[in-house]
Amino acid sequence: MSGNNNLFLLFRIIGFIALVMLLGCAEKIGLQPIDEDKWFQQQSRSSLSSDTPSEFTLRFLRKEDLLEPYEKDPVSALISLERETSLQSDRDSLFVLMELCYAEAKKTATVSGFHVGDKYNAFSLGFIVLVA
């Protein structure tokens, strides 16, 4: 009997240690209070009204793991997003593509020899029509 008790105690100790290790690795999840005006500004922001894309677009980029690539090299990320959109066109990805193209067209007219104004301004025109 004492062998079974020792084994049971050993399993309990190992389980407790594993539980403590798992809980120690968990991220903190919580809510932060935000001013109502600031929240409204964040939710209504778009490339038309600021230099930052809309919250919808930022959420889409996070969901698709494209936010970091977009921040590092926007043009390459847009080309990649355009390829994805042409394969499976849905409203969300098309909207995001147009908004980001508009933002890039606003920033610069040429990027490393590639004239953004042609193709991206065509997309940005669609963005203006969609939003308006």
pTM score > 0.75 for this model?
no
The pLDDT > 70 percentage for the chain reads 73
Length of the chain: 132
| Structural domains of the chain, count | 1
- Tell whether 22 is covered by a domain: no
Residues 6 or more apart from 104 whose CB is under 8 A from it? Answer: 74, 75, 78, 111, 116, 120
pLDDT at residue 55 above 80? yes
- Note the pLDDT of residue 116: 47
Structural domain contains residue 110 = yes
DSSP 48: T
